[in-house]
Structure formats: C-alpha cells, structure tokens
Structure 1
Amino acid sequence: MKVFRVLMKNKELIPLALIITAAASGASSFAVYSLNKKPDVIIDRKRNPEPWENVDPNVPGKLITINQQWKPIEELQKVRRATR
C-alpha cells in the first residue's frame, strides 16, 4: 500500500511503474512459454534423460529464422559412410 501512496504523491512515476510492470509480466510469460513449448529446455531429467533424441532437425528452434537452408557437411558424410 505504501507504493500506491508514493505513486499518488508523485504522478510522474505512474508511466514508469506501468512500463516496469509490463516488462516483468512479458519476461515471465516468455519464460513460462519457453519452459512449456521449447524442446531444448529440460525441466525433468528423470523422465526424459536424453531429450536431444526428441528434437526434430527440420523444425527451427529459434524465434525467427531467416533464409535457413540445411546443407550436409561433406567431411561428416564421409565419416558416416566410412563407419557403416
């Protein structure tokens, strides 16, 4: 309640408080989104000890992917052929 008294006395602090509140709620909502929707975030290691096996390489893990094309690395392909 003391915060509201300070805001009522100093009206110029109200926009600052609103911006800080919006930023904090946006950051916390993105954190919850990342924990629930992203496959590279590990919360429970007991039920899923190797989560990297469930990641689809065709689905981008970034928020924005611009002109991404997958090209095989020739040295890696040679090693794979040699070990078969």
Structure 2
Amino acid sequence: MGFFQLLKKNKELIPLVVFMAVAASGASSFAVYSLRKTDVIIDRKGNPEPWETVDPTVPQKLITINQEWKPVEELQKVRKATK
C-alpha cells in the first residue's frame, strides 16, 4: 500500500501531513538562514576571526528597530595599536 493510497483511505491524516511538511520546511529554511549569518562559525581555520568582517550597517537580527551604530573610540585605538 503506497503513501497516497493510505491518504486516500484515511482522509483525516491529510491535515497532519500538511502541517508536518510545513513545519519541516520552516525548520530547514530557518537552519539555512542561521548558517548564513556572520556570527555563526563553520570554518574556524579559514577565517578564525569572522567578527572582524561584520558590516555594521547591515542589521544582524531578524528584526531590528532603530539601530544606530557608532564606533567606540577606545576600540578603534586598540585596533590601530595592534595592527
């Protein structure tokens, strides 16, 4: 007995299958979205300090409200001193 024959025979399973498919695709798409973010490190040997390449003008959160970025003077002095 195939999957679609089972669904034809038991029509009450159709909403369950649809909800599970939507949940699985949503979880997969969020996992792919999370892996593309800059604060997730997949390859530590290729880029050991990925936080140095973060663009401050691009929001890093899913929803960002009233984000303003100003450089910290002390941090800029430390960066110049260590380079």
> Is TM more than 0.5 here?
yes
CA distance in 2, matches of 1:71, 1:51: 20
* Percent identity of equivalent pairs: 70
Please state whether the residue corresponding to 1:47 is helix, strand or coil: coil
Match in the other structure for 1:41:
40
Q: Is the 8 A contact 2:7 2:13 kept in 1?
A: yes
Match in the other structure for 1:20:
20
**Unaligned residue ranges in structure 1 (runs of 5+):** none
Please state whether the residue corresponding to 1:48 is helix, strand or coil: coil
CA distance in 2, matches of 1:2, 1:50: 51
Q: How many residues align?
A: 76
Please state whether the residue corresponding to 1:63 is helix, strand or coil: coil
Cα distance, 1:7 vs structure 2 = 2.6
CA distance in 2, matches of 1:54, 1:70: 15
Which residue identity lines up with residue 10 of structure 1 in the other structure? N
Q: Which aligned runs of 4 or more in structure 1 are off by greater than 6 angstroms?
A: none
Deviation readout 1:25-55 (Å, 9 max, x if unpaired): 12102212322x3111111111011111111
Please state whether the residue corresponding to 2:58 is helix, strand or coil: coil
Provide TM-score, normalisation by structure 2: 0.68
Provide TM-score, normalisation by structure 1: 0.67
CA distance in 2, matches of 1:34, 1:17: 26
Match in the other structure for 1:58:
57
